[in-house]
Structures are given as C-alpha cells and as structure tokens.
Copies of this chain bind each other. A is one copy, B any other.
Amino acid sequence: MTKIIIDGLGSDLGPEMVREAVELARKKLDFSAVLVGPKEVFSELVEGDDQLSLIDTREAIDNNESPALAIRRKKQSSMVLGLQALNQEGDVFLTAGSSGALLAGAYFITKRLPSFRRFALAPVLPNIHGGVLLADAGASMDSDSLLLFHFAQAASLYASQVLKKDRPKVALLNVGTEAEKGDKRSQETYTLLAASDLNFIGNVEARDIFTQDMDVLVTDGFAGNVALKSLEGTAGFILKTMKEVFLTNTKTKLGALLVKKDLKEALGKLDYRSHGGAPLLGPRKPLYKAHGNSTAETFALAIQEALAFAQSKMSERLALLGEEEGDLR
C-alpha cells in the first residue's frame, strides 16, 4: 500500500485543516499515512485508524524564515522530520508549507536524481484542452537549456503517467512561434526538444496559454513565474472589478443576478486551483506541494494527487533516464 508522509504544520489554516483533509481522504481512498504534527491534534485520528501513524512535533518552518537556514537548524520541524521519514519509509511527501523550505529540504535531505542539478515546480494551468503542466513555475533560477530539456522529459512523463495524457504534447514558452525566436537559452532548448523523441509541438506565446492544445509548457523558472503571476494578477483584477461593478446599484445587482450562475460556471475553468497542488520534479523521491491556503477539500485532493504521483513510479524511471543518457551535465 502506498505510504504518504503528510506535513501537519505547513498550512495557513493550521493542523486542524490537515486532520480534516486526512479524514476526508480516508473515506474515499486506500492508503497509509504518517502524519507529522502535534499529538493534541492528530492522536485521536491516528489511534482510530490502523493505516495512520504519527510523528509528534510542534516545530514549524514559516514563510518568513531563510529556507536553507531553517532546514539546517530546525531539526525537529515537521518539514525536516517528514522528509527524513520519506527517506526511510515513505513513497511521497506532501506539504502546504513554505515552498522555499521544501526546495531546500529537497536538496539537502531528499537529494537529486542524476540529471537534475535543480528542480521544477509543475502546477497545472487552466487550458481549454484540459489543463497544461507548466514546468518550471519558479523553483529554479538560471536554469540552462539542458536542464530545461530534462524538465521537459520529466513533465512529459508526469503528464503521461500521472495525468494519463496520451503522448503528451510538449511546447516551449517563447516570445514568438518561429524556431529562431527568443534568447540563446530558448533557441538551444528548442534544438534539444526538436531532436528528442518527445512529442514537441514548437514554441508557444504566453497569450496562448489558455487556448493552445498542449499538455506541457516548458520554461525557465523566472519566465514561468512571471507568466503564472501575470495570469493570476490579471484574472484576479478583472474578477474583482466585475464584482465591484455588479454591486454598483440596484440595476447592476439585478443584472448580476441574471448572469451570475452561467458566468461562474464558465469562468470556473479558469481556476488554476482546480488541482490540489503541484509536483516538484527532480528530487529522488516524489515531493508534492499543496497551496498554503488550501481548504480541507483541496488538501484532500492534493493527497489523492500525491498518491497518484507516488504510484506512477516515475522517479524510478527518471533515474534510469539519467543513466541511459550518461552524464549529460
């Protein structure tokens, strides 16, 4: 049975949210779990369920700490204890905690697969063809073209093995569609992707993220983060403006009443949080990042996604990939 290690302390909503999410997930799914958090919150749940065990701790790493320092010094933090448990007995680690601390923990505790000098965070973005995996959304800076090529391989494998996409369509985020477009890194990455056995469909511009038929969008972490946050900022600003307009007066309130349901349904497709979290690609064992402000429902979804990630055994396949290629770095 797949064993998931769950960080009980990372969430903005506190460990009670995590407990509720585990209860929700256990009703639907068969898995075993190690919960890392305070026994006051988790012991009752753990005692009533054979498949659950507990590592008791109260120490947390918060978003304002230096991630690398926190991982080195806070030996009793839920993140450090959880990642150590993953090394010893787990199949996947899930946290809603600090992304920076997860990254630092991945480097220092989980360690890297041979081909991954750095990691890619790969959330699913909204897209009318059923979502697109953005790799990297900002986990690594100054990635070179070979690393981006490895991100593409890992993301393509994730899209096929975990998201069940058939022969995933891989695109490169660029400033134009022609092969020679972009900076030197993009041009080199294009060449590597075009020569590979991935299903590479070419360059895609940021304006086509929602509409282009693709499964994976490869980019370095800086541009990926800019694309993601520009999308979030724009969507957030428009939806906020729309709500304000709807509340202007009696007339607009009535109008809003008539369009609200259909609008909500149509724009629901846009919600990049329809997934519970995102995988970190590159560490030796599967690490899964849930949103810091996850509700119990979305965190339960993240548990399900993290289990699917672990069950795909794709880390083992990625490790082989590195060996087949020899030392590419």
Question: What residues make up the interface of A, taking CB atoms closer than 8 Å to B?
Answer: 138, 141-142, 173, 175, 182-184, 186, 205-211, 219-223, 225-239, 241-242, 244-246, 248, 251-252, 254-259, 262-263, 266-267, 269-270
B245 near A262 with CB under 8 A, answer yes
- Contact partner of A226 (CB less than 8 A), chosen from B227, B254, B267, is B227
Q: Which residues of B contact A207 (CB under 8 A)?
A: 229-230, 232-233, 236
Majority SS at the chain A contact face: helix
- Contact partner of A245 (CB less than 8 A), chosen from B173, B230, B252, B259, is B259
CB A299 to nearest CB in B, in angstroms, measures 23
A208 vs B252: C-alpha distance when bound (angstroms): 28
Pairs across A and B, CB under 8 Å, 10 listed: A142-B183, A206-B226, A207-B230, A209-B234, A219-B226, A226-B230, A238-B267, A242-B267, A255-B259, A258-B258
- Contact partner of A175 (CB less than 8 A), chosen from B184, B221, B254, B269, is B221
A231 near B229 with CB under 8 A, answer no
- Contact partner of A141 (CB less than 8 A), chosen from B173, B183, B251, is B183
Q: Which residues of B contact A210 (CB under 8 A)?
A: 233-234, 237
Q: Which residues of B contact A262 (CB under 8 A)?
A: 245, 248, 252
A229 near B205 with CB under 8 A, answer yes
Q: Closest B residue to A219 by CB, please name it.
A: B226
A259 vs B230: C-alpha distance when bound (angstroms): 26
CB A108 to nearest CB in B, in angstroms, measures 19
A104 vs B142: C-alpha distance when bound (angstroms): 29
CB A250 to nearest CB in B, in angstroms, measures 9
CB A122 to nearest CB in B, in angstroms, measures 16
Q: Which residues of B contact A175 (CB under 8 A)?
A: 138, 141, 221-222, 225-226, 229
Q: Closest B residue to A223 by CB, please name it.
A: B226
